Structure 1
Amino acid sequence: MFALIKPVQLIALSALSDDILLIHKRYALLELAQNTFSWDLTHLAPKVFELFERYSLDIEKRKFLLYYLAK
């Protein structure tokens, strides 16, 4: 059996500000999507599309992310 050398550190994304999340580049899209329970989509959509323009992400991943957010 394999043992972890270091303990796993969990981060509460909901405790981080938008500005902190947005500096995480491509990961910011996933972090914002995971934090949608506290977001109004009218607030989230401009940030998502801004990140789409700033960082390359293939069309299938964009579709999946938008589908996830719409659900």
Structure 2
Amino acid sequence: MPSQFITIANNASETKKIAKNLAEEILADGKRREGAIVLGLKGNLGGGKTTFTQGFAKGLRIKEKILSPTFNILKK
């Protein structure tokens, strides 16, 4: 059964910290659990989805730079 996690971040730094901590928890929990974890992000343009993803990637120890898909489309 899906579970829901709700929190409020007041700035980009808090958003990244929350996402990083969540990713680290998922990694730690993954050693005890089977199956996939699906994480959905929904929000307006400029709502913090990329910022969250950057923090989440850091928590997963991903080194590549994370850019907004919208940024890449507009850049073309």
Structure 1 and Structure 2 fold alike (TM over 0.5): no
Q: Please report the TM-score for the alignment, with normalisation by the length of structure 1.
A: 0.35
Q: Please report the TM-score for the alignment, with normalisation by the length of structure 2.
A: 0.34
| Between structures 1 and 2, the one with greater helix share | 1
Q: Which has the higher contact order (CA 8 A, sep 6+)?
A: 2
